[in-house]
Amino acid sequence: MTPLDSLKPQERGRIHSITGSPAVVQRLAELGLFEGEEIQFLGKAPLGDPLEIQVGTTTLSIRKKDAQGILVQTLTQE
């Protein structure tokens, strides 16, 4: 289990848990980020923050601080 921001670019993971303030957790859920979902880490902004991720067909920008609360199970690519 690792925090989302420690994935490598293009690496995939499955969300294990999300911690943070209720407002943050709720907002992430509305956008499709919740337990059990598969996400792909696409890359970081040139200054290292925020991060670009893909959930389903949606590309999202998420701040490092919020990404650290998302624990993922790294998925090995076959």
Partner 1 sequence: MSLETKTFSVALIGNPNTGKSTLFNALTGLRQHTGNYPGVTVEMKKGECKLNEYLKLNLIDLPGTYSLAPRSLDEMVSVDVLLGRMKGESKPDLVISIVDAGNLDRHLYLTSQLMGLRIPIVLAVNMIDVANKQGITIDWKTLEQRLGIPVIPIQANKGKGLEELKATLAKVLMQEGSSPIHGPEFPEAVNQEVNRLREQLGNQVPEFLVQRLILDIDGHAQKHFSQDRPYLNDTLNQIRERLKSHGVAIPAIESKVRYGWIREQLKGVVSRPRETPVSFSQRLDQILIHKFFGTLIFLGLMFLVFWSIFSGAQYLMDPIKDAFTWLGEHVKGALPVGPFRSLIVDGVIGGVGSVLVFVPQIVILFGFIAILEDCGYMARAAFLMDKIMARCGLNGKSFIPLLSSAACAVPGILSTRTIENTRDRFATIVVAPLMSCSARLPLYFLMIYAFLYNPQKHSSWVPALYLFVMYCLGLLIAPLVALLLKRTFLRGETPAFVMELPTYKIPQIRVIVRRMFDSGWAFVRRAGTFILASMILVWATLYFPNTNLEGQSYETQIEEIEYRIREKKEAQGTGTEQGDSETDPEIKALEEQKNKLTEEWKGQSLLGRVGRSLEPVFAPLGWDWKLGMATLASFPAREVVVGTIGLIYGQGEVDPGELKDKPEEFELVKTLGEEVQADPLRGPYSTLVGLSMMVFFALCCQCVSTLAVIRRETNSWRWPIFTFVYMTTLAYLGALLVFQVGKLFF
The pattern of x and - marking residues 7 through 26 that bind partner 1 according to CB under 8 A reads -------------xxxxxxx
Encoded amino acid at 29, one letter: A
On the 0-12 / 13-18 / 19+ scale of CB atoms within 10 A, 5 is buried
Q: How far apart are CA 33 and CA 14, in angstroms?
A: 10
Q: Which of 6, 19, 61, 73 binds partner 1 (CB under 8 A)?
A: 61
What's the min distance (Å) between Cβ of 8 and partner 1?
Answer: 15
List of residues contacting partner 1 (CB under 8 A): 20-35, 42-43, 45-50, 52, 54, 56-63, 66
